Structure 1
Amino acid sequence: MSLDFVLRVNNKDYQNWVKAGLCLSFVAEDLRPFVEEQMRDFHRDLLRGNPGLQERCEKSCPPNHVQFSKACRPCLEWKSEILKNHRQRDPKLKWGNCNPPAWRTDYWELAKAYMPQGQLRMRAANEFDASALLNLVNYCDRFPPVDVNTGPVKEMIRCRNDLMHSAKLLVTDAWMKNFKDVMARFFELFRHVPSMAQTEEKIHEALAYNISSHLLGAIVFECSSTDTVVTDGLEKGSGSLFSLENIRQREADLLQERVWEMRHRAEEDEIDTEQLTTLEHFLQTHNTPMSMPGLFTAFQLKT
């Protein structure tokens, strides 16, 4: 356990940032089975309802051909169905996420049309983060009806974006209070989803868990070289959901997601150089559990 980690996590606003990210990761993990089932059924129903979708792509259409309506007839049929089932009129979809010839056989390729930029290489349910899944649920009308601009799913997307766009990776107690309210409204919408039955409980435990109060126990643990830490009567072993070992890994996942977020924005010429500098400084001055040499090479031409 490094002193740097102890000092970093003892910052209340940074601890809030990590815990909010942990909550979003729980939402994504437990939402995936429901989303996968819905998209599998949606894909099957589209194929049954429109024979033209069952035909193979005629010329290996790239995404830009679909975007500008230069694709083959089967791919344009898929484009029409995707737009027809989008909750917004004239949506600006991220066609670059998709491999159009695979729409006929892969329901995740269909799902990616409703997600934010940066999903091209994603292939399986566990590769999609909270942002991807929430945007899919918000904009594809296969899912329970929501207000795409002010509904609970959109509010969750805004909270996730606040978190990922926080320049200093800090959020206040006031922001956390609003986040809890947003999550409560979100869970009301998905109470019927079996895979999310335990999500609220995990999130309540995560929000109540005081990382700082367990740091001393963890340090004692390292000195004694035992397999578990006992604090406040609770055993926090290395396999625990809220072990500091797991918290550190979740922190690494969050930082990785933050980096990928900035890379995707860079691809669209939307990179914020001030935020990039702040993140670079954070990773260079903190002993984070990430090993990413040459991390910022991808941004050099953008900055």
Structure 2
Amino acid sequence: MCEEYLVARLNDREYASWLKAGRCLYILKDVLHNFTNEQMQGFHQALLRMNPSLREQCQQSCQSGDIKLSRACSPCLQWRSEILNHHRQPNSNLNWDNCIPSAWRTRHWELAKAYMPRGQGHVNAVDQCDPSALLNLINFCDCFASVNSYKNSSCVRELIKCRNHLMHSANQHVSDAWMIKFKLALQHFVRLFSEVRGMQLAENMITRMLAVDLSISFTDAVDYNGEELATDSVIDDVTPELITKWEADLIREMLWELRQMAEDETMDSNQLKMLDNFLQKNKDLKAMFSPELQAISTLGAGQKKI
């Protein structure tokens, strides 16, 4: 019975495109793990070398609220200043709630979280990040300027826009026209970061993912460079269980983002309603995500109910 729901979803062309686009972002995320981790380690060490006072221990177990209200201790306020100095848009609202200020001195990934979207407070390592977290880190922290220069930054921003469109697609559909834009954004990003270790393999995996027909059979396709692919160039060992995992990764990310908006009282109740309708129609996915959906619905009870 569960596979019947899956087959119906995958025979919907625009749903399959949504799923493949999301999977491409996760392939990209995985190859960016080592790169972003190494960059942030080097950045953290460089800050400590250039400003020895940053080595001083936090004096009062400062919290994110202390940073926002500028009532933190002197070492933590110095870290705050350095974070802003290296932020490409320091006048924007930084998500200090992501951070434990007292840990900036010793944990480079706690520093990285200051440049990420909200909701990263639970993240303790690079491999726990979703695609949005890493793309925003690269976009906003100037320690990536050697690759992502101001001249090239539009490339990263365009991919972030694509990711946001994908996650805010309440009916889990994207059009053929949107996929063309997405493939172009991917192509530009991959070329910009071509020297990153493992990016060539990721590019091959992305090309194969975009080529695969998830509906009935694997067919000839064209990669995002316009080159024809042979029928045996598609992804091997694509099982229903693996595809369901891909779906779960994306839906979990959507639900997490909706939860953050519900907590901030900025949730789009229509998006939640459409996601609820989608899960109601797909009993296999509903069984996995009903508790999370109900929790978000409860948080958003003060807004328009689904």
TM-score (norm 1): 0.89
CA contact (8 A) 2:87 2:141 kept: yes
Counterpart amino acid of 1:139? F
Q: Call closer, same or farther: CA 1:192–1:235 in 2, change over 3 Å.
A: closer
**Residue 117, structure 1, aligned to residue 114, structure 2:** no
1:161 aligned to 160, 164, 186, which one? 164
- 1:149 Cα deviation from its structure 2 partner: 9.9
Q: Call closer, same or farther: CA 1:164–1:68 in 2, change over 3 Å.
A: same
**Residue 40, structure 1, aligned to residue 41, structure 2:** yes
CA contact (8 A) 2:263 2:299 kept: no
Tell me the distance in 1 between the aligned counterparts of 2:150 and 2:266: 27
Q: Call closer, same or farther: CA 1:135–1:235 in 2, change over 3 Å.
A: closer
CA contact (8 A) 2:258 2:296 kept: no
Q: What is aligned with 1:299? A: 297
Tell me the distance in 2 between the aligned counterparts of 1:263 and 1:159: 21
Q: Call closer, same or farther: CA 1:91–1:3 in 2, change over 3 Å.
A: same
Tell me the distance in 2 between the aligned counterparts of 1:36 and 1:300: 36
1:284 aligned to 259, 270, 280, which one? 280
1:203 aligned to 200, 206, 218, which one? 206
TM-score (norm 2): 0.88
- 1:189 Cα deviation from its structure 2 partner: 0.9
- The CA RMSD over aligned residues, in Å, is 2.0
Q: What is aligned with 1:81? A: 82
Per the alignment, in what secondary structure is the counterpart of residue 271 of structure 1? coil
Counterpart amino acid of 1:11? D
- 1:146 Cα deviation from its structure 2 partner: 3.5
Tell me the distance in 2 between the aligned counterparts of 1:146 and 1:118: 27
- 1:268 Cα deviation from its structure 2 partner: 1.9
Tell me the distance in 1 between the aligned counterparts of 2:152 and 2:253: 24
**Residue 243, structure 1, aligned to residue 239, structure 2:** yes
- Superposition map of 1:1-303 within 5 A: 2-143=3-144, 144-147=147-150, 151-214=154-217, 240=237, 242-289=238-285, 291-295=288-292, 296-302=294-300, 303=303
CA contact (8 A) 2:87 2:142 kept: yes
Per the alignment, in what secondary structure is the counterpart of residue 174 of structure 2? coil
Per the alignment, in what secondary structure is the counterpart of residue 56 of structure 1? coil
- 1:291 Cα deviation from its structure 2 partner: 1.6
Tell me the distance in 2 between the aligned counterparts of 1:187 and 1:236: 19
Per-residue CA deviation, residues 22-48 of structure 1 (Å, 9 max, x unaligned), is 000001000111000000111111111
- 1:277 Cα deviation from its structure 2 partner: 0.6
Per-residue CA deviation, residues 92-115 of structure 1 (Å, 9 max, x unaligned), is 100000011111111110000000
Tell me the distance in 2 between the aligned counterparts of 1:12 and 1:87: 39
- 1:196 Cα deviation from its structure 2 partner: 1.5
Tell me the distance in 1 between the aligned counterparts of 2:206 and 2:232: 20
- 1:293 Cα deviation from its structure 2 partner: 3.8
Per-residue CA deviation, residues 254-291 of structure 1 (Å, 9 max, x unaligned), is 11111001111222221000000111111122034462
In structure 1, runs of 5+ residues without a counterpart are 216-231
Tell me the distance in 1 between the aligned counterparts of 2:152 and 2:49: 31
- 1:150 Cα deviation from its structure 2 partner: 6.2
Counterpart amino acid of 2:102? P
CA contact (8 A) 1:108 1:124 kept: yes
- 1:68 Cα deviation from its structure 2 partner: 1.6
Per the alignment, in what secondary structure is the counterpart of residue 185 of structure 1? helix
CA contact (8 A) 1:32 1:125 kept: yes
